[in-house]
Amino acid sequence: MATNKTKAVERKEVRIGLLGCGFMGKCHSNAYKTIPYIYASANVMPRLMVLCDQRADVLQREAARYGYEEHTTDWQEMAADPRIGLLDNCGPDPLHPEPCIAALANGKHVVCEKPMAVSVADARRMRDAAAHAAGKAMCTFNYRFMPAVQFAKNLIGEGKIGAVYQIRVQYLQMAGHDPSLSPQQAWYSAWPHSGGLQGIGSHAIDQCRFLVGEVASVSALVRTFNRDRAIPSAGCSAEVTADEATAAVLEFANGAIGVVESSVVATGRKNFLAWEINGSRGSLRWDLEHPNSLFACLGGQADDSLLGFTEISVTESGHPYVGPWWPQGHNIGWEHCHIIEKFHFLKAVAHGEPLCPSQATFEDGYRVAVIIDAMRKSSLAGSRVAVTF
Q: How far apart are CA 83 and CA 59, in angstroms?
A: 20
pLDDT of residue 228: 85
Other beta carbons within 10 Å of 224: 17
Same domain, residue pair 171 and 43: no
Q: How far apart are CA 209 and CA 367, in angstroms?
A: 9
Evaluate whether residue 6 is within a structural domain: no
Evaluate whether residue 349 is within a structural domain: no
SS3 string, 203-270, reads HHHHHHHHHCCCEEEEEEEEECCCCEEEECCCCEEEECCCCCEEEEEEEECCCCEEEEEEECCCCCCC
Domain CATH code at residue 42: 3.40.50.720
pLDDT of residue 193: 64
Evaluate whether residue 315 is within a structural domain: yes
Same domain, residue pair 89 and 207: no
Prediction pTM value? 0.95
DSSP line for 172-201: E--TT-STTS-TTTSTTTSTT---HIIIII
Same domain, residue pair 128 and 80: yes
Evaluate whether residue 203 is within a structural domain: yes
Same domain, residue pair 300 and 285: yes
* Helices marked H in the chain: 23-38, 56-66, 75-80, 97-105, 120-131, 147-157, 196, 202-211, 334-351, 362-381
Same domain, residue pair 309 and 166: yes
- The boundaries of the domain holding residue 24 are 12-143
pLDDT of residue 223: 96
Q: If 0-12 CB within 10 Å is exposed, 13-18 middle and 19+ buried, where does residue 61 land?
A: exposed
Evaluate whether residue 299 is within a structural domain: yes
Q: If 0-12 CB within 10 Å is exposed, 13-18 middle and 19+ buried, where does residue 317 land?
A: exposed
Same domain, residue pair 204 and 118: no
Same domain, residue pair 177 and 120: no
Same domain, residue pair 319 and 234: yes
- Out of 109, 143, 177, a domain closes at 143
Domain tally for the chain?
2
pLDDT of residue 165: 98
φ and ψ at 370, to 5 degrees? -65, -40
Same domain, residue pair 252 and 322: yes
For 264-335, list the strands marked E by DSSP. 272-279, 283-287, 293-297, 310-313
Domain CATH code at residue 324: 3.30.360.10
- Out of 88, 123, 143, a domain closes at 143
Q: What residues of the chain score a pLDDT lower than 70?
A: 1, 190-193, 232-235, 237, 300-303
Evaluate whether residue 19 is within a structural domain: yes
Same domain, residue pair 62 and 172: no
pLDDT of residue 91: 95
Of 8, 9, 79, the closest CA to residue 50 belongs to: 79
Evaluate whether residue 118 is within a structural domain: yes
- Give the pairing type, strands 70-72 and 12-19: unpaired
Evaluate whether residue 195 is within a structural domain: yes
Return all residues near 295 (Cβ < 8 A) that are at least 6 apart.
Answer: 284, 285, 286, 309, 310, 311, 312
Is residue 155 a contact partner of residue 182, using CB atoms and an 8 Å limit?
A: no
- Out of 118, 143, 168, a domain closes at 143
Q: How far apart are CA 161 and CA 172, in angstroms?
A: 27
Q: How far apart are CA 166 and CA 93, in angstroms?
A: 31
pLDDT tens-digit series, residues 210-267: 999 999 999 999 999 998 887 766 667 677 889 999 999 999 999 999 999 999 999 9
Same domain, residue pair 113 and 157: no
H or E segment and range at residue 50: strand 44-52
Same domain, residue pair 118 and 167: no
pLDDT tens-digit series, residues 326-344: 999 999 999 999 999 999 9
